[in-house]
């Protein structure tokens, strides 16, 4: 025993302290007999195991200014993290400040500049012997008063969040009602669907009776804190002892630019690949001379205006941001032009007619492809600046395939008049034919242009799908000779493009639903870029043909590997799939997640999706919950929208069964629904 205590004593004595150079006096409590406590005394109050310390802490770069703070005592000085401050963030204390427990048992923090008590809550104890102590969890306690009830920018594990609020150190951002992030109290830019209860030491956050926020390092024993940072984002930090630093284990907003108030009026917030933010001016604007992060118009708007297109830019601070739901871009533009206070409009090329006017002001602009929106910025028609926000590329192919050739006049012709007559006749015929061809082309072109405008084909991503002619695809597939699949909504052929790329060409049948659905499908698939998804390389829409050209995946889809050859009777047309022993399914339409979804949630036959090898030992009463949980988790991971998919931490919890899993939506990727 004795050696252990010796070791412990040595350990405690040799612990690095924030100001080892000066004689530092540490105490376990502060009482009226210790009063007054002055900044120059260099005294700190330690928690029982020295995790936290409290006291007058010198403000960065100054030995004459202090905050009365609580900080992690065990962390090296260069990453000192304060978790609580008594004085207001914008008024540091001078060397004349003092903390006393008065004769009337009031805990008083004063500075020379003012006699008022700066201690939050100005607590009075009921007992003369009451002391100020710092608990091991970082809670500073004086009788009934607790610092946990007066948080500043940080919540610690087991601190109740209910009824309190956080303010970022710079005073710009607040976390209100345990659920809302707000800029200047006025603009809420993030709302949690559930109210925060408390941060747990395992990295989860209680929300009501539920735990729905789980940090990336959930379950590991680490020091953690929930902090509202100066960039307006709310984050869970975990301390990695081996690296000696804090890392972000969860954050409220994935895109920092979505925080309101990062940039000033008219400016657009951009993040680069390293996630650092900058404020840039839109075309036609320059940096404001009065405010650093704001932009001002180069030319005042007159009655003659035009629009500049800024792709993927969203402004959110207009005075009325109602979605007008219009038919087309022209209508949205007309709506904006009709109002003198309309500074631009946002339009989505998804066929849903999303149209939001920007009235009176342009605030909180940010660039993000996730918005899928194009901002049309109103500028004076004399403005010469060109847009440099061009995230989407024009794909419409406007080359004219019509070629007119003049026949040579017959050789045996010697009379000039006859030659002239022939030439004139031919010329007239060519002219008429030319005009007819041109007229037909123009009609077609206008039709496609309008359709493309309405549906956003102009805005497919760079390197997006190419428009093929029917003849090109006919040649590529050797007149559609190599069928690799037949399905309910079309046949699939193998083909090879002139550049040697091998493709799967899917000719859609019965596209009676109209062109709109086809174009919508093309645009949606084209926008998806994912490692594990087959890419759409192009399409063809002519002569009543609707054809999609995909990357050719020689090995077929992943489910082929899950259910190996022995169990798949691949005649790649009709396939009998592993788990579906009793039913043959049309291979082309067969998409495992969708099939599994129907089995589990429509037909309620979980046992049908079990692998043959484990099916015999499946017992409905014993295993149903587990299988149900696994299926739901898998389907949540397959959701089309990335923000619907759970984090790995959450997945672990879902599989573990410690959170309730709601019913997922049916996965739809890739399929034209009938
Ligand atoms: C302090 O540390 C000791 C030894 O690790 C532990 O037994 C004790 O529970 C800790 N005290 C507190 C208040 O955490
Ligand atoms: C402290 O000094 C550094 C460099 O001298 C400076 O970058 C930083 O802004 C200063 N901090 C404060 C709070 O004044
Ligand atoms: C703090 O200092 C230590 C050693 O002096 C160093 O290894 C570590 O990288 C520093 N941390 C930061 C955040 O500067
Ligand atoms: C300490 O005071 C300075 C100066 O007022 C302030 O900038 C800083 O945010 C304060 N620190 C904490 C942790 O509140
Ligand atoms: C501290 O108090 C002394 C004496 O009252 C005064 O001269 C000095 O200006 C004060 N310092 C500050 C920073 O207020
Ligand atoms: C504590 O007592 C002081 C002076 O008597 C008073 O100003 C203050 O409001 C009291 N605080 C509380 C929380 O009642
Ligand atoms: C508490 O302290 C005050 C002033 O020191 C004294 O007047 C009072 O009698 C004390 N009360 C008790 C219960 O000891
Ligand atoms: C939060 O506090 C309010 C009032 O203080 C109380 O009514 C409510 O039940 C609390 N909610 C939770 C989740 O503790
Ligand atoms: C567009 O041009 C403006 C003015 O030249 C510039 O400030 C801004 O950074 C540019 N934006 C982008 C996205 O490059
Ligand atoms: C916002 O605009 C829409 C469409 O113009 C209008 O119906 C609505 O009444 C407006 N709302 C307010 C609060 O002005
Ligand atoms: C847009 O819709 C309006 C009716 O809402 C229609 O009159 C107009 O022709 C359409 N414009 C285009 C380019 O389709
Ligand atoms: C623009 O941003 C606001 C606030 O973040 C959001 O509510 C809105 O949905 C965004 N619009 C688009 C098209 O993403």
Q: Where are the chain's structural domains?
A: 23-253, 268-399, 466-556, 592-672
CB distance 322 to ligand 10 below 6 Å:
yes
* pLDDT for the residue numbered 515: 62
Residue nearest to atom 10 of ligand 7 (CA): 128
Tell me the pLDDT of the chain averaged across its residues.
79
**Cβ–Cβ < 8 Å for 393, 464:** yes
Residue 554 has pLDDT above 70, yes or no: no
Query: Which superfamily is assigned to 466-556 in CATH?
Result: Phosphorylase Kinase; domain 1 (3.30.200.20)
* pLDDT for the residue numbered 447: 66
Phi, psi for 329 (deg, rounded to 5): -60, -40
pLDDT grade for 559, boundaries at 50, 70 and 90? very low
Q: Closest Cα partner for 623 from 603, 605, 607?
A: 607
* pLDDT for the residue numbered 396: 28
* pLDDT for the residue numbered 83: 96
Residue 586 has pLDDT above 60, yes or no: no
Compute the average pLDDT of residues 345-351.
84
pLDDT grade for 523, boundaries at 50, 70 and 90? low
* pLDDT for the residue numbered 306: 93
pLDDT grade for 193, boundaries at 50, 70 and 90? confident
pLDDT grade for 641, boundaries at 50, 70 and 90? low
Ligand nearest to the CA of 122: 6
CB distance 210 to ligand 1 below 6 Å:
no
Residue 663 has pLDDT above 80, yes or no: yes
From 62, 96, 111, mutation site for ligand 5 pocket: most ligand atoms within 8 A of C-beta: 96
**Cβ–Cβ < 8 Å for 175, 205:** no
Residue 395 has pLDDT above 70, yes or no: no
Give 23-253's CATH code, choosing from 3.40.50.720, 3.30.750.24, 2.90.10.10, 3.40.50.10190.
Answer: 2.90.10.10
Which residues line the pocket of ligand 5, CB cutoff 6 A?
A: 94-96, 112
Q: Which residue has the higher pLDDT, 617 or 91?
A: 91
List strand residue ranges (DSSP E) for 455-535, in order: 460-461, 466-467, 483-487, 490-496, 502-508
* pLDDT for the residue numbered 450: 62
Q: Which of 51-65, 135-149, 492-506 has the highest mean pLDDT?
A: 135-149
Token pair belonging to 663? 């019913």
Compute the average pLDDT of residues 448-459.
54
pLDDT grade for 17, boundaries at 50, 70 and 90? very low
Of 98-107, 443-452, 510-519, which gets the smallest average pLDDT? 510-519
- What's the residue count for the chain? 674
Ligand nearest to the CA of 282: 9
CA of residue 601 to ligand 10 center, whole Å: 41
CB distance 463 to ligand 3 below 6 Å:
no
Q: Which residues of 376-414 are buried (b: 16+ CB within 10 A; e: fewer)?
A: bbbbbeebeeebebeebeebeeeeeeeeeeeeeeeeeee
CB distance 369 to ligand 1 below 6 Å:
no
Ligand nearest to the CA of 152: 4
Provide the phi-psi class of 129: left if phi over 0, else alpha when psi is between -120 and 50, else beta.
Answer: alpha
Residue 381 has pLDDT above 50, yes or no: yes
Residue 242 has pLDDT above 70, yes or no: yes
* pLDDT for the residue numbered 133: 96
CA 27 to chain centre: 47
CA of residue 76 to ligand 3 center, whole Å: 8
Q: Which residue has the higher pLDDT, 297 or 412?
A: 297
Compute the average pLDDT of residues 315-341.
90
């Amino acid at each position: 025993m004795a050696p252990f205590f010796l070791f412990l004593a040595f350990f405690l004595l040799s612990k690095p302290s924030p100001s080892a150079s000066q004689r530092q006096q540490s105490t376990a409590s502060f009482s009226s007999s210790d009063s007054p406590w002055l900044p120059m005394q260099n005294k700190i109050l330690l928690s029982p195991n020295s995790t936290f310390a409290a006291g007058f802490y010198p403000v960065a770069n100054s030995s004459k200014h202090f905050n009365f703070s609580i900080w992690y005592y065990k962390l090296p000085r260069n990453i000192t993290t304060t978790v609580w401050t008594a004085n207001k963030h914008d008024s540091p204390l001078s060397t004349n400040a003092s903390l006393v427990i008065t004769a009337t048992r009031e805990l008083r923090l004063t500075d020379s500049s003012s006699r008022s008590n700066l201690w939050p809550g100005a607590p009075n104890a009921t007992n003369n012997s009451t002391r100020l102590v710092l608990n091991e969890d970082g809670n500073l306690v004086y009788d009934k008063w607790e610092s946990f009830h007066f948080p500043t920018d940080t919540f610690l594990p087991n601190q109740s969040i209910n009824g309190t609020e956080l303010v970022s150190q710079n005073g710009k951002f607040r976390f209100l009602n345990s659920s809302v992030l707000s800029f200047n109290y006025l603009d809420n830019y993030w709302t949690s669907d559930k109210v925060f209860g408390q941060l747990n030491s395992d990295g989860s956050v209680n929300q009501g009776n539920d735990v729905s926020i789980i940090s990336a390092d959930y379950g590991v024993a680490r020091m953690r804190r929930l902090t509202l940072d100066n960039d307006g984002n709310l984050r869970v930090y975990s301390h990695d002892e081996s690296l000696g630093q804090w890392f972000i284990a969860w954050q409220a907003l994935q895109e920092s630019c979505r925080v309101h108030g990062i940039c000033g009026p008219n400016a657009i917030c951009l993040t680069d690949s390293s996630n650092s933010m900058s404020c840039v001016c839109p075309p036609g604007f320059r940096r404001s001379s009065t405010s650093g992060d704001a932009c001002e118009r180069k030319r005042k708007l007159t009655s003659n205006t035009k629009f500049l297109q800024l792709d993927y830019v969203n402004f959110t601070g207009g005075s009325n941001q109602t979605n007008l739901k219009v038919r087309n871009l022209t209508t949205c533009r007309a709506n904006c032009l009709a109002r003198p206070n309309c500074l631009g409009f946002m339009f989505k090329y998804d066929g849903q007619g999303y149209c939001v006017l920007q009235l009176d002001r342009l605030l909180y602009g940010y660039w993000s492809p996730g918005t899928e929106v194009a901002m049309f910025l109103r500028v004076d028609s004399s403005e010469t600046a060109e847009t440099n926000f061009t995230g989407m590329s024009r794909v419409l192919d406007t080359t004219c395939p019509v070629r007119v050739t003049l026949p040579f006049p017959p050789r045996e012709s010697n009379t000039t008049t006859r030659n002239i007559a022939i030439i004139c006749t031919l010329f007239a015929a060519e002219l008429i034919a030319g005009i007819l061809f041109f007229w037909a082309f123009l009609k077609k072109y206008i039709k496609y242009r309008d359709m493309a405008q309405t549906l956003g084909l102009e805005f497919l991503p760079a390197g997006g799908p190419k428009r093929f002619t029917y003849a090109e695809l006919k040649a590529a597939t050797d007149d559609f000779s190599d069928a690799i699949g037949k399905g309910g909504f079309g046949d699939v052929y193998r083909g090879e493009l002139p550049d040697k790329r091998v493709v799967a060409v899917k000719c859609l049948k019965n596209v009676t639903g109209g062109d709109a659905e086809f174009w919508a499908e093309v645009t949606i698939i084209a926008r998806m870029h994912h490692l594990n998804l087959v890419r759409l390389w192009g399409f063809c829409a002519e002569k009543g043909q609707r054809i999609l050209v995909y990357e050719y995946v020689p090995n077929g889809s992943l489910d082929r590997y899950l259910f190996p050859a022995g169990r798949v009777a691949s005649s790649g047309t009709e396939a009998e799939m592993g788990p579906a022993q009793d039913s043959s399914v049309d291979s082309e339409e067969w998409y495992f997640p969708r099939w599994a979804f129907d089995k589990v949630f429509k037909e309620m036959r979980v046992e049908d999706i079990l692998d043959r090898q484990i099916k015999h030992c499946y017992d409905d009463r014993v295993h149903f919950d587990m299988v149900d949980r696994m299926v739901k988790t898998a389907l949540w991971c397959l959701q089309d929208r990335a923000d619907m998919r759970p984090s790995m931490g959450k997945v672990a919890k879902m599989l573990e069964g410690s959170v309730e899993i709601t019913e997922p939506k049916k996965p739809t990727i890739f399929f034209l629904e009938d």
